[in-house]
Structure 1
Amino acid sequence: MLLATLNSENSLAIVNLATDEVQKIAVGEGPAQVSIVFIT
């Protein structure tokens, strides 16, 4: 399962819950948004 969050720094963090690996992706300028998406 993957957990993807867009934090207040406008950085998309993708967390692999099986391995606890975190990959951060900058998404550029824009208003801060918070969203949580579960991918199974």
Structure 2
Amino acid sequence: MTEAPRINGVTVTPVAFRDPPLPNAVGVHEPYALRAALED
């Protein structure tokens, strides 16, 4: 049986970009959408 691939390291880069406000039941969300880009 072969071994599963292993991840030896990961670089996490936080990303924020403008996102137009969308009204919803709890108010309006922040003007930026926050995401994380992962790179191995």
Question: Shared fold by TM > 0.5?
Answer: no
| TM-score (norm: length of structure 2) | 0.31
Q: TM-score, normalised by structure 1?
A: 0.31
The structure with more radius of gyration? 2
